[in-house]
Structure 1
Amino acid sequence: MDTVLLLTILVVIFALAFDFINGFHDTANAIATSVSTRALKPRPAIIMAATMNFVGALTFTGVAKTISKDIVDPFALENGALVILAALISAILWNLITWYFGIPSSSSHALIGSLAGAAISAAGFGILNYGGFVKILQALLISPFVAIAGGFLMMSLFKVLLKNRNLFKANKRIRYLQIGTAALQSFTHGTNDAQKAMGIITLALIAANLQSTDDIQMWVRIAAATSMAIGTSIGGYKIIKTVGGKIMKIRPVNGIAADLSSAAIIFGATLIHLPVSTTHVISSAIMGVGTAQRVKGVKWGVAKNIVLTWIITLPVSATIAAITYQLLNLFF
């Protein structure tokens, strides 16, 4: 078999594996608040999240096109399949490491950092599409701050609306609304996160001269959506515990505020074709909600550890990918 074709097949397999891992790694983000408040039991919540992730993944392709052309120029990338394979291996390793320790790190940061690191290792810094790369980094870095502000404002609004209500009764009724907001959260997760694997596969197909445009083929969309849905159905219980309880004690009204604000930000990013970290956005929205509720109620030690992981993910994943590319280059 031709080496380029073999590498392209490996890229497709590893991209779907990344999407699968992304599914169980990031499931917690979409359903953690509804599980922690007992609006939903874990198993029904995960099944619902898998279904809505699948629907969301099939609905949009703008983020996939951004991934396929805005980090590196696929038409200028030599050894493209090898670069992409190294990036995927690096991103998968980092996702598994952080999942094992129950840390809600960013799959988006891991993938984008890995792709940049592998490309630089193969062809130097000039290979990066700096305009697109900076645009993506800005979206990744700014979105958590927007989410903190959004969570704070949404919770502040709920505090005004529920000012003269019995909080216990209000929380009991709101708990049922969390089923809807968790479904919305899962849908928006699919519209953004599943497209990253679609973009990677399309990038590999272009680099291997198997397609000449950045259009996302239907089989790629279905394969990526299915892979993420299956991964989601397995669920990430360790991360549910961290996101849903260790940042702050979440009540139904807090969960609704966090879900609505973060879903709006993720979907907004999808509409303007920018990849954001659902992990960053949802965790940050919970911090914003907690700050509006009671600053001391947020467990800032846990939040600090999450932020530290966010900061180191890009450089660490880029370094792992650069080393992985050099090792793969010895065999291919």
Structure 2
Amino acid sequence: MDIFALIVTIGVALGFTYTNGFHDSANAIATSVSTRALTPRAALLMAAVMNLAGAFLGSGVAKTVSQGLIETPSGSRGMAILFAALVGAVVWNMITWYFGLPSSSSHALFGGMVGAALAGSIAVYWMGVVEKVVIPMFLSPLVGMALGYLAMTAILWTFRRANPHKAKRHFRIAQTVSAAGMALGHGLQDAQKTMGIVVMALVIADVEDYGDQIPVWVKVSCALMLSLGTYAGGWRIMRTLGRR
């Protein structure tokens, strides 16, 4: 296996993680910024730190990405498939970032993997795609809407007699905590997706095996790139989510 192809593929994977950071970080902190609970820079710094921490928690998502969606390709064609999938995801991230659209980097990556696998005549695990990508894609907004409705109803009832000024101060703190939790979850989920791609590239290159632990350097590099991308800022998307 050409070591140059491996290095390029890993480089593009880390580039995707960087774009993921400034693209999706806004999802966690937009409401805190729009309500002035946090300044944009403070919110981005908090999100960067929590993304960095979340990236080191668990490895289940990485396993799903590396083994659960497509057959592991082999040789130079396999590396080309990963490269094409990543380029497609990065391009879509940049397009949606430019227009300020809060699109999912994860679904762009998964779609890129499936599309590249089909073009490269590699088997797609359709059941895994349906169960782990398509169903969650449709359920997530519905479940979020239902839980948000229930939470807001409970909050309105609980604080119906509260002093507005005191309640505002407490809610600012609560908003910061919830934003930190979302940023932690973003790191837990999205950094591992790139880890899964890098592991797949290492397996194709016969450097690692799926039975091995994810190398520390893979975890550190993915976590740092996600955190750096987050701090670089996602103001376009943050403005769409928080103010439009």
Q: How does 1:76-95 map to 2 (within 5 A)?
A: 79-95=77-93
Aligned amino acid, residue 94 of structure 1? W
Q: Name 2:130's counterpart in structure 1.
A: 134
Q: Which among 109, 112, 115 is matched to residue 110 of structure 2? A: 112
Using the size of structure 2 for normalisation, the TM-score is 0.94
1:178 Cα shift? 1.9
**1:160 pairs with 2:157:** yes
**1:122 pairs with 2:120:** yes
1:166 Cα shift? 3.2
Using the size of structure 1 for normalisation, the TM-score is 0.70
RMSD: 1.6
1:233 Cα shift? 0.7
1:46 Cα shift? 0.7
Residues in 1 aligned to 2:198 and 2:87: alpha-carbon distance in whole angstroms:
14
Aligned amino acid, residue 153 of structure 1? L
Residues in 2 aligned to 1:114 and 1:155: alpha-carbon distance in whole angstroms:
37
1:153 Cα shift? 1.0
Residues in 1 aligned to 2:148 and 2:119: alpha-carbon distance in whole angstroms:
39
Give the share of equivalent positions with the same residue, in percent. 42
SS of the residue 1:58 aligns to: coil
Contact 2:82–2:197 (8 Å) recurs in 1? yes
Q: Name 1:10's counterpart in structure 2.
A: 8
1:167 Cα shift? 3.4
Q: Write the deviation string for residues 128-163 of structure 1: whole angstroms up to 9, x where unpaired.
A: 012222211222221121111111111111111111
**1:178 pairs with 2:175:** yes
Q: Which among 40, 43, 58 is matched to residue 41 of structure 2? A: 43
Residues in 2 aligned to 1:122 and 1:173: alpha-carbon distance in whole angstroms:
54
1:77 Cα shift? 7.8
Q: Name 1:281's counterpart in structure 2.
A: none
Residues in 2 aligned to 1:165 and 1:136: alpha-carbon distance in whole angstroms:
43
Q: How does 1:167-316 map to 2 (within 5 A)?
A: 167-213=164-210, 215-246=213-244
Residues in 1 aligned to 2:242 and 2:229: alpha-carbon distance in whole angstroms:
19
Residues in 1 aligned to 2:73 and 2:235: alpha-carbon distance in whole angstroms:
41
Residues in 2 aligned to 1:75 and 1:105: alpha-carbon distance in whole angstroms:
28
Aligned residues: 242
Q: Name 1:257's counterpart in structure 2.
A: none
1:72 Cα shift? 0.9
Higher relative contact order (CA 8 A, sep 6+): 2
1:168 Cα shift? 4.5
SS of the residue 1:139 aligns to: helix
Structure 2 residues without counterparts, runs of 5 or longer = none
Residues in 2 aligned to 1:76 and 1:156: alpha-carbon distance in whole angstroms:
53
Structure 1 residues without counterparts, runs of 5 or longer = 247-332
Residues in 1 aligned to 2:175 and 2:71: alpha-carbon distance in whole angstroms:
42
Q: Write the deviation string for residues 49-75 of structure 1: whole angstroms up to 9, x where unpaired.
A: 101100000112110111000111216
Residues in 1 aligned to 2:190 and 2:141: alpha-carbon distance in whole angstroms:
16
Aligned amino acid, residue 163 of structure 1? R
SS of the residue 2:179 aligns to: helix
Larger mean Cα displacement after TM superposition, 134-143 or 27-36: 134-143
Aligned amino acid, residue 65 of structure 1? K
Residues in 2 aligned to 1:140 and 1:5: alpha-carbon distance in whole angstroms:
36
Q: Write the deviation string for residues 105-140 of structure 1: whole angstroms up to 9, x where unpaired.
A: 01011000000000100015xx10122222112222
Residues in 1 aligned to 2:7 and 2:105: alpha-carbon distance in whole angstroms:
22
**1:31 pairs with 2:29:** yes
